[in-house]
Structures are given as C-alpha cells and as structure tokens.
C-alpha cells in the first residue's frame, strides 16, 4: 500500500515495510542524548523492528527521491490508539519534523478514520515535544518508565481531531 501526502508540503509515500527497509532502519544511530532511540540497543527492540515486515500497521516512509527517511506505527495500548514515529538520524534537527509528523497524522486520519491519536515521548526529547506542541498535541499524563534498567520520564500526549 502506498499513500502520497498531497496536503503536506513534503511529498511522502507510505509503504508496507520490506526486509531491506528493516535492515536499513536497524542501522540508524542517533547522537548524544538521542542515542536512547538507537535501533540496535537491545534484542527486544531489534525483534520489534523486524516485526514491521509485511505489517498492516507499520509503514516505511519514502521521500520524492525514493529514499527511506522514516517509519511510523499505529497501534493500541489498551483502549488508546497510538502513534510511533521515527525519522532517519541524518535528517533530524533540520526543521523537517513538523511537516513530517503532520503528513503522518494526515495519513493515519485517512487510513484509520481517527477522532484522536496518542503518543508518548521521552521528556528530554525537546525537539519532538516542540513539534507535537506546534501540531496541537496536549499533555495528558506524565509518567516514569524503566528501559534497559534506567528510569526515564515520559509524556503522554493527545491530538483530538475536529471534524
């Protein structure tokens, strides 16, 4: 399945992940505090990313030059419909985040007929939080989660859609 985001300035295509996408995504390493998001940090994360192949709710995101620039996942946690977002490390922090996430949200709204979307973000990830704030997400909860033996502060955010 592919989807071209026409409403957004970015021309993105959403594809069902294939093996080569996953192999590429597993090599992504981020700098500084963002190394928290490295994809090869644990067996569990590697297996999670491998599960994207042929998934109905995980998508590889390609730009207009047929380059893999990110991925997203749509899933339930209990009764909450959630979004996971990842951007290729070489393009993070360069001002593309708002249009990138906006495109993903538009894709999700159309595919899943959503009235809202939730996400969680590490509290230290000020860049992502700024993007989510700009797009209208609101903080609904703050919590601590232990990951790889370390406690991290997280923020749960929600975007309600006006129809």
Radius of gyration of the chain (CA): 15
Which residues face 155 on adjacent strands? 121, 142
CA dihedral sign, ordered 15, 85, 147, 137: negative
**Domain locations in the chain as residue ranges:** 13-115
pLDDT of 8: 44
**Residue pLDDT, tens place only, 116-163:** 999 999 999 999 999 999 999 999 999 999 988 889 999 999 999 975
**Mean pLDDT computed over 58-64:** 97
**Residue pLDDT, tens place only, 65-75:** 999 999 999 99
Is pLDDT above 50 for 59? yes
Which CATH architecture does the domain made up of 13-115 adopt? 3-Layer(aba) Sandwich (3.40)
């Amino acid at each position: 399945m592919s989807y071209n985001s026409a409403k957004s300035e970015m021309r993105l295509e959403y594809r069902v992940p294939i093996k080569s996408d996953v192999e590429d995504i597993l090599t992504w390493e981020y700098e500084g505090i963002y190394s928290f998001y490295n994809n090869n940090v644990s067996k569990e994360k590697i297996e999670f990313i491998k599960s994207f192949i042929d998934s109905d709710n995980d998508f590889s995101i390609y730009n207009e030059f047929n380059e893999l620039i990110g991925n997203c996942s749509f899933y339930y946690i209990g009764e909450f419909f959630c979004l996971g977002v990842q951007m290729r490390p070489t393009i993070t922090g360069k001002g593309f985040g708002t249009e990138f996430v906006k495109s993903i949200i538009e894709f999700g709204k159309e595919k899943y007929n959503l009235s809202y979307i939730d996400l969680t973000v590490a509290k230290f990830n000020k860049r992502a939080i700024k993007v989510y704030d700009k797009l209208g997400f609101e903080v609904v909860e703050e919590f601590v989660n232990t990951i790889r033996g370390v406690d991290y502060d997280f923020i749960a955010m929600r975007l309600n859609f006006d129809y």
